[in-house]
Structure 1
Amino acid sequence: MSRKKVIYRIAFLLVICLTVFFAGYIYRAISIVNAYGAKVVCSAVYLQHRSVQNVIDEELSAFPFFLATYIVNEKDSSATGTTWGLAKRKAIYRRKLGATLVSDSSEKQIRAQHFMLPLKPSKNTDTIAWPNGNLLPDTLPSGIDPLKLDAVLQQALNGSKDGSPVYTNAIVVLYRGELVAEKYAHGYDKNSLMPGWSVAKSITAALTGILVKQGKLDVNAPAPVAEWKDTDKEKITLEQLLQQTSGLDYEENYRKPSGATSMLFKKGNAAAYAAQLPLAFTPGTVFNYSSGNSNIISRIIREATGKGYHAFPYESLFYKTGMYSIVLEPDASGTYVGSSFCYATARDYARFGLLYYNNGRWNNEQLLPEDWVKTTVQPSAADTLQHYGYQFWLNGFDKNNPSERWYPDVPADMYFADGFGGQDIYIIPSKKLVVVRLGLRVMNENKLLKDIISAIR
């Protein structure tokens, strides 16, 4: 065989291999796109009562999501996504549980799951004073400039960033615990459920704190993960999971197939997927933001609470703080996706922020350990930017150099729960503020908070 023919054959084989590789990559990417879209549509249609077209126009209009076709089936309360007829994915809605992607387990197996959920308290919250209910006082606390504050919120509602609208759907402002201002985009109000995305991480941390207070978990002890026994991961502590310093080899990247997209949109057991990952770093030495850590914590909570797991968040946290709207969504294994999937009203997110503002206390009951909030806002030594605590982001601690803070015009003691697209609960103890902003895209939050602060004399 001539040398020329050998070169041609090698080139041909390389082309075939590259074609197969890229075809596989594209198929995996399409599957994730379809799964994400199906999940978003299913939650939006059945929890938010929005039309499919509205969801497509607002959340799924960008590349590559606009390539897919999304269909809702009212007969079985589901939504599917498919791109060019390939890699069809399905999400199913179950009452009180929201949407769950069909992954690993069959749809029949998932629908056969039994959840022990508590009944929502039968109360007319419009007749109960804030914060336990929705009845607001007729007057504002002293020190508020209502006209200026209203103008700030209105401007944020119509805001843009880099020339594109950010679609703020809700803003709620608490001052000294009182609800002093709120605004909603057209089609939304105080009763509208909205996604929190990674705000779920902060909720997962609060549930962990409750179990610590009950003596069922110890943040300083090795995390109770069965798969890690007698492995190099067995010394990972619960605190390292909370502080995102577990050392697990995980990539939080949603722009391509990654650990994050595989865990949330391909796997039916998010915690099991994350737990089997190898170590990339010695635990406690490197900060690496990871939804995988949060979902491992969620499964730890499940195992610590046993048969009462699915009721636990509602009975121990939500219903005690008047958060009657909130829905935590489970994966196909039945574990709440503690990193990412929760829906609630803006007021209920504000109530969650108020719990932390009040040092974990509500109605004279200490729900979280006395020192939990103080510990929450302490970064680990491994966090070189000093910007993360127990599943909450921090503004930084350089009081003499605001330029080193995440938000330079906001006090250093500010900390916040932060979700994809700008779902945020800001807690600013020194200014006696809790601010909730929910939208579709990130905005200039530094300016928003600066302007809100300036409206309070």
Structure 2
Amino acid sequence: MRDLTPLPLQPADVPWPTQRWPEGGRRPDGLATLADEIFGLPETQSVSYALLVIHRGRLVYERYAAGANRGYLQYSWSMAKSVTHALVGILVGQGRLDITAPAPVPEWQGDARAEITLDQLLRMSSGLEFAEDYYDGGASDVIPMLFGEGRFDTGTYAADKPLAHPPDSVWSYSSGTTNIICRILRDVIGNGPSGMLDFMHEELFDPLGMRTPTPRFDRSGTFVGSSFLLATPQDFARFGLWYLRDGFWEGRQRLPEGWVDYARTPTHLDSANGYGAHFWIDPDNPERFYCSGYDGQRILMAPTQDLVIVRCGRTPEGHAPAVFDRVNAIVDLGW
């Protein structure tokens, strides 16, 4: 494991945002200008619904537009993958899952896929065939999984894919991988969607004060953790702060020791992308790690600056730099 920037502790004089976000704190020069630029981009390039900045545990900036407000639920899209990482971590801490063991997937018994581990699934290194294309319905696996023939049992659709590479030899981002994990979670937790909802609330959402998360399930009872979780930006920010605080919240370590470091340790890192375990890593600033979703959803954690930034909106991939260059510039202000 490479050297990682230490994660900051919650300041002793700042209450945890379980009930409400503590507000205030200094806003550095340039923050308002960069936010104006983000919200002022032409609609043909980007529409921003929400921008929140958390510094040292306080909500120092919050802005909404395009009809959104504090109570408006936003789509996570693939930010839900990072929530799936947290659910796995909780079960690991309870001794109910071992990520180093072969993944319990019945379809894989008796062939080479039986060697795939949960660790490899979390790091997108299973070797399974899966085309992560959001536009070409003919070439895509993610479109039929979410909206076509696979939508009723997303985990089985993905688990049926053959190996394209030996396990742990190639990194390949795959929404199918996450739904295989979520089918495993369904079976370990039991009692279908109601059991999963109870577990999510009792072990994750309620302790953090996240009151709005709305996960979606397929007909098989599997949480579609690749893509479908709605929540307010303030609740997304609570999740980000929890990871910035190393899984600690209000006097209790709620994730296993080292679980957040596992998420932010690179599996794949090149000039274009960085990825750990169900979290992305900024290749230009590898200490920064983030949850990312289609159309430009993001929860960014910056340990050195003790920042969490949440951005929700609608931005085509080709225009994403216009938003996220400015989000990164916010991190680089004189905090």
TM-score, normalised by the number of residues in structure 1: 0.65
Tell me the amino acid that sits aligned with residue 313 of structure 2: G
Which residue in the other structure is 2:12 paired with?
none
Q: 1:448 aligns with which of 320, 323, 326?
A: 326
Which residue in the other structure is 2:104 paired with?
224
CA contact (8 A) 1:153 1:182 kept: no
Which residue in the other structure is 2:308 paired with?
434
Distance 1:379 1:434 in 2: 20
Aligned length: 308
User: For the structure 1 residues 206 and 135, does the alpha-carbon distance in structure 2 shift closer, same or farther, using more than 3 Å as the test?
Assistant: closer
Secondary structure of the 2:304 match is: helix
Tell me the amino acid that sits aligned with residue 451 of structure 1: A
Distance 1:384 1:130 in 2: 33
User: For the structure 1 residues 135 and 231, does the alpha-carbon distance in structure 2 shift closer, same or farther, using more than 3 Å as the test?
Assistant: closer
Q: How does 1:269-288 map to 2 (within 5 A)?
A: 269-288=153-172
Report the Cα offset of residue 227 of structure 1: 1.5
Tell me the amino acid that sits aligned with residue 297 of structure 2: Q
CA contact (8 A) 2:21 2:58 kept: no
Runs ≥4 in structure 1, deviation > 6 angstroms?
none
Which residue in the other structure is 2:11 paired with?
none
Which residue in the other structure is 1:134 paired with?
20
Deviations 1:243-300 (A, max 9, x none): 1011111100122222111111112100001101111100000011100000000011
Deviations 1:382-411 (A, max 9, x none): x36371111011113xxxxxxxx2xxxxx3
Task: State percent identity of aligned pairs.
Answer: 39
Distance 1:156 1:130 in 2: 29
1:339 and 2:226 aligned: yes
User: For the structure 1 residues 435 and 130, does the alpha-carbon distance in structure 2 shift closer, same or farther, using more than 3 Å as the test?
Assistant: same
- Which has more radius of gyration? 1
Distance 1:191 1:384 in 2: 36
User: For the structure 1 residues 365 and 180, does the alpha-carbon distance in structure 2 shift closer, same or farther, using more than 3 Å as the test?
Assistant: same
Secondary structure of the 1:192 match is: coil
1:310 and 2:197 aligned: yes
CA contact (8 A) 1:170 1:184 kept: yes
CA contact (8 A) 1:158 1:165 kept: no
Tell me the amino acid that sits aligned with residue 316 of structure 1: E
Which residue in the other structure is 2:290 paired with?
416
User: For the structure 1 residues 384 and 171, does the alpha-carbon distance in structure 2 shift closer, same or farther, using more than 3 Å as the test?
Assistant: closer
Which residue in the other structure is 1:203 paired with?
83
CA contact (8 A) 1:393 1:415 kept: yes
1:245 and 2:125 aligned: yes
User: For the structure 1 residues 195 and 350, does the alpha-carbon distance in structure 2 shift closer, same or farther, using more than 3 Å as the test?
Assistant: same
Distance 2:230 2:196 in 1: 19
Tell me the amino acid that sits aligned with residue 211 of structure 1: L
Which residue in the other structure is 2:55 paired with?
175
Deviations 1:424-454 (A, max 9, x none): 0001101111100111115324422333134
Deviations 1:14-73 (A, max 9, x none): xxxxxxxxxxxxxxxxxxxxxxxxxxxxxxxxxxxxxxxxxxxxxxxxxxxxxxxxxxxx
Secondary structure of the 2:310 match is: strand
Distance 2:45 2:164 in 1: 39
Report the Cα offset of residue 186 of structure 1: 3.6
Which residue in the other structure is 1:389 paired with?
276
CA contact (8 A) 1:241 1:297 kept: yes
User: For the structure 1 residues 304 and 270, does the alpha-carbon distance in structure 2 shift closer, same or farther, using more than 3 Å as the test?
Assistant: same
Which sections of structure 2, spanning at least 5 residues, go unmatched? 1-14
Distance 1:376 1:329 in 2: 24
Which residue in the other structure is 2:209 paired with?
322
CA contact (8 A) 2:16 2:249 kept: no
Q: 1:192 aligns with which of 35, 55, 72?
A: 72
1:156 and 2:156 aligned: no
Q: CA RMSD for the aligned pairs?
A: 1.7
CA contact (8 A) 2:216 2:224 kept: yes
Report the Cα offset of residue 135 of structure 1: 5.0
CA contact (8 A) 2:38 2:323 kept: no
Which residue in the other structure is 2:147 paired with?
265
Which sections of structure 1, spanning at least 5 residues, go unmatched? 1-128, 397-404, 406-410
